[in-house]
Structure 1
């Protein structure tokens, strides 16, 4: 099986390299996770993004060394900047704290850094103690940006995961769970009002290992030769599109059909567990880039809406866990050596 996928991967790489040389990886970014004790310096990381041709970064907290390096190099990196989960309550409770956060973490670094989105929290569950503070923090950050730097037009959102969906198959049945609705629906209404996207972490890997008897590996890795799931007028050839459209269906059901979904994380581990291998990870990342960059037409349910996706992650992070696979999602080893062929032009 792995020999087959190696051959498929090499064939697709040839197509991918030729197509990316013409189009550039404009819709694909890479998450910069920092949960490791053997990672390059922040300055080296920013330089590595630039020399690798990666134009978009997701940063999970306002790490000053990273922001300073990006600004000093006039990198024009397009950034998703995260508000750390532990800071949300303070920002929700005090507008001046939100204004200070913007003053310290955004304004000093423009225009050298392009702040595309502020992500207020990552994968917060409705039952988490900080859940009631997410929307007020989003509102305070938004209002601070509007009062201090309206010309920057920075969208404010939050990043969620699929646990908030009560139903996701078929994609047209996608819906937020009853237990999540009181948390996510007001957030979605805020996003719709401000014309901001919902950030969603989408992992076909976890869908596959959760049901390997039903989900074919080719369907998960973008290598199915034809439609696997027919859902009314929409045909699905890969799990990624099906998961993305489940979110769009959920948004439709709560009256927000115009809210875009930005894929704020997606990836496949190269080691440490079931179906975690260099061959599979390479196929997933390269085929995802090809799918996003060469189709340019969006998912079946949102044809014409170009997909934005952030690969997780730049480097392996040796302090993540508890699952061993969590330490093997990097495109690169901490010494900046690629684990498999990848290109960003």
Structure 2
């Protein structure tokens, strides 16, 4: 961002916001400049600014300091003998944060596995598990820490999750029940270690499986309720979640990215169930359902999937010709209930 030369002299004054060009937000940058100016002055230095309108702004500072006698990173060294070799998944889109956390956990003799997005984190849970703990950042593109935790909890109900959240982010308190610990960034090493130690200490060996205790995700489910399932979902992250859940229930799935792809697939194949996202590009789930109901095809059970949770949304889906309704993020028990109902209503395929 560039300032007019006449504005540069006041850009670091506390609580003074410069008038930005149209459609440009200065956000908290000006407050940050005031803080930076104060920190530099406390260290006996000076800060200056030069700006060319339309090109950019350069801030320069000088401080008084001594030459460092060591370049070695300083870590908090603690007794970790009881917890070494525990595998921990770290999810953060910022590569610098990932490397810092990786270095610290390795110093504590833990085994960090890094994921740069929520989708990659779920993939790591599937391919590189089991894990003893998940540490996730709050703010990430496509899927934030809260949304990721809401997906993980039904699949791994005993897996503790620590959330790293920025100062001033109050939304995390709304979902505190999803996380065992919420730490505010920047996180001090002692705080991080204590949070990790507390969660690892709580881990106990899982009870021996009992034949009388059903598993939430069991591949025998598909054998008991055999269904040919088509999933219509345009979001890649949601695709992975749905496919992984259904695969764990024993189903082989056909995937469509929008309503038009659904119609193309139904021209060639028949299905017992379509899990239909309501909002998709090119052709949404409601329009696709109306077309399906108008065609002389073997009619499938259509289950709506939508993030909308208002009572009227369910009625809209049913009026379009859908048979059932699931709210996102999908809950495993609700999904299984819908599939059991669909199994009892399906038309035999020929």
TM-score (norm 1): 0.24
Q: Larger Cα Rg: Structure 1 or Structure 2?
A: 2
Higher relative contact order (CA 8 A, sep 6+): 1
TM-score (norm 2): 0.24
